[in-house]
Amino acid sequence: MKIKALLGERIQAAFQEVGLSGESLLQHASRPEFGDYQANGVMAAAKRAGRNPRETAQAVVAALDLDGIAKAVDIAGPGFINITLDEGFLAEIEPLAVQTATPQTVVVDYSGPNLAKEMHVGHLRSTIIGDCIARVLERLGHRVIRQNHVGDWGTQFGMLLTYMQDKAADSNSLADLEAFYRLAKARFDDDEDFQRRSRQTVVDLQSGSPTALEQWARFIAISASHCQQLYDRLGIDLGPDDARGESSFNDDLAPTVNALTQRGLIELSDGAKCIFLDDFKNKDNEPLPVIVQKSDGGYLYATTDLAALRYRIGDLRADRVLYFVDARQALHFKQIFAVARAAGIASQEIVLAHMPFGTMLGKDNKPFKTRQGDLIKLADLLDEAVERASLVLSEKEVQVKNPDIDDSEAAALADMIGIGAVKYADLSKNRTSDYVFDWDQMLSFEGNTAPYLQYAHSRIRSLFTRGEINPNDLPARTVPVDDPERRLAAAIANYHDLLEQVGQEGYPHHLCGYLYDLAGRFTQLYEHCPILNADQEARTRRLILSHQTASILADGLTLLGIRVPDRM
RNA sequence: GCGCCCGUAGCUCAACUGGAUAGAGCAUCGGCCUUCUAAGCCGAGGGUUGAAGGUUCGAGUCCUUCCGGGCGCGCCA
């Protein structure tokens, strides 16, 4: 149940009744003593109406119908309305019933690695943030279509295919894609004949030569399988069916430019086909073009993106298209969206949103690289994560806590914790800013980390194991009584609102913050109140709340793409 | 030169988009294991939110100007 929407409607109704216009400005209470929610809208509205804010608040509260929802509605300060929810109301909420009444078709564009090279840390953010938001939207009941816009076309493939041919390369020699790329590049840089043949291969490829296409397909298949291995390791919901590379829009590029021409948007500038839009200026304050076809007839990535957008809206019937792409491409997307609107590719009702993110930095606050200055391979990063996690586990003497965990279970745990820690470190920071990658911080069991949440979850599970209780035998709901119970119940009830917000705005760190807060409220209950050893009534109550908490933690971590061990 | 983003505790990050006394974790200091996982909990210190103006009942958040950092800006993607 969306509590905020419900309260918002009721307050709006009360505003109307007392002749007030404006928003209720409802938000969570900033301090516990203010209750659960606060509405801040009265002060501004009263000001506009020239009325006394405090008296206006009185009138709104008098007109406000929250029977069965709130147990207290107070006025504080200059005209804040503080709302304390009724415990019975909290108990009625099914926390995991989060399906929307108005499902949309949402295309989520994320990951998009360049298949000419191996995946490196630069692909991590797009991949895991996009994956999380796709899962959240799906959880809310939207029709989600994942689009992995892989870089599988372009001049660099001429070089790679020619080198592959020269070396009679098989999948084995492509096992280290990065090394292969470097060798091909080195050859290209100091061998003129090789350069000539590489350019010819590009021409062959673009003109549809069967031999070139066959080699290209072989290369792409091998490279894509490398990606797939990483997706599987990372627990990313992307497969071959989600991949729609640049090459797949090849045949649509000319029609796309034609469509723009017919709309009268195209101008020739130095032989290139350009679109000039009013809002974009270059460094000399002259109109800035979006170039869709080069003077030599070649197309550019703007063209590909427009063709892809035509497909997403025309064929996939998207209501929203979300792009999880590096913040540096902000201008590019602004232009693409503006062209798409001007050209009628996207009507005003369709939401197009660039969901930008910042750069991953090392502890020195510079882009995260090896000592040699190379980008770090994703595969190496994950190896190190698991290795470090397994080290932490042995330090913490996991066998003391759970003596019957054997080596293979411990290895599986290290995997879940290590990979989860890397993903969570990224997901828990504000998407739009750069963030500092710090092994010790992310693998710590203290603070807002994946291991802490996994641990909190396993602690709850162990309650049920130890008490030999099947959670399904418990009643589904309970009315909280003691303070820690109430605080926990209030957070549990808020899950739907939170997911709604994350699905709308695309900030996974809000989900992380929520789960951390939820886990904190649980451990407070756990520390301050006995659960298994409480009297029958309290025991049942607390077990129900514990089970709800564990369910949300498991659900939330799953939406983050992080695995949830039963014990650790 | 123009444009976009950022600057919050010693460090890493929050602050629900204009609300009440700016919050967490790490680090520092002090408490709590004969009852459910101490990988935990409770508490203390630590801030002129880069600076100065402005807008208003109210500003970390909005506007202006500086300072400092990152990124982008015609035929790469």
> What confidence tens digit (pLDDT) does each residue in A213-241 have?
999 999 999 999 999 999 999 999 999 99
A372 phi and psi, to 5 degrees? Answer: -80, -5
As a whole number of angstroms, the distance between CA A376 and CA A357 comes to: 19
A533 touches strand B (CB under 7 A): yes
Strand order in the sheet with A287-293: A266-269, A272-281, A287-293
**Mean pLDDT (whole number) for A427-452:** 92
The integer distance in angstroms from the CA atom of A516 to the C1' atom of B26 is: 16
Domain annotation covers residue A115: no
The integer distance in angstroms from the CA atom of A431 to the C1' atom of B49 is: 20
A565 touches strand B (CB under 7 A): no
Last residue of a domain, one of A220, A237, A254: A237
The 10s digit of each residue's pLDDT in A142-195 is 999 999 999 999 889 999 999 999 988 787 888 889 899 999 999 999 899 999
Label residue A352 left, alpha or beta by phi (over 0 means left) and psi (-120 to 50 means alpha).
Answer: beta
- Encoded amino acid at A73, one letter: V
Number of structural domains in chain A: 2
As a whole number of angstroms, the distance between CA A487 and CA A530 comes to: 16
Assembly ipTM: 0.96
- Check pLDDT > 70 for residue A397: no
Nucleotide lying nearest to A510, CA to C1' measure = B16
A501 touches strand B (CB under 7 A): yes
Last residue of a domain, one of A40, A59, A85: A85
Q: What is the pLDDT of residue A172?
A: 80
- Encoded amino acid at A263, one letter: R
Q: How confident is the model at residue A320 (pLDDT cuts 50, 70, 90)?
A: very high
CATH number, position A22: 3.30.1360.70
Q: Which of residues 100-139 of A touch strand B (CB under 7 A)?
A: 114
Q: Which of A28, A27, A29, A24 is nearest to A9 (CA)?
A: A24
Three-state SS at A441: helix
Beta strands in A397-530 (DSSP E): 435-436
Domain that holds residue A181: 156-237
Domain annotation covers residue A272: no
Half-sphere exposure of residue A183: CA atoms within 13 angstroms, side-chain side = 15
Q: Which two tokens stand for residue A311?
A: 């497909």
Instruction: State the residue for tokens 């590029």.
Output: A253
As a whole number of angstroms, the distance between CA A79 and CA A40 comes to: 7
Strand partners for A27: A38
The 10s digit of each residue's pLDDT in A354-377 is 999 999 998 888 888 888 888 899
Three-state SS at A266: strand
A543 touches strand B (CB under 7 A): no
Domain annotation covers residue A233: yes
Is A229 in contact with A240 (CB distance < 8 Å)?
no
A402 phi and psi, to 5 degrees? Answer: -130, 85
Domain annotation covers residue A200: yes
Strand B positions closer than 7 A to protein CB: 1-7, 12-20, 24-27, 35-37, 39-42, 56-58, 70-77
A441 touches strand B (CB under 7 A): yes
Half-sphere exposure of residue A496: CA atoms within 13 angstroms, side-chain side = 18
How far is Cα of residue A441 from the mean position of the Cα atoms in its chain?
21
Tell me the CA distances in angstroms from A378 to A126, A178, A339, A508, one per residue in order: 13, 12, 35, 21
Q: Which two tokens stand for residue A8?
A: 């918002």
Domain annotation covers residue A448: no
Domain annotation covers residue A167: yes
A438 touches strand B (CB under 7 A): yes
**Quick one: angle between helices A378-395 and A210-234, nearest 10?**
20
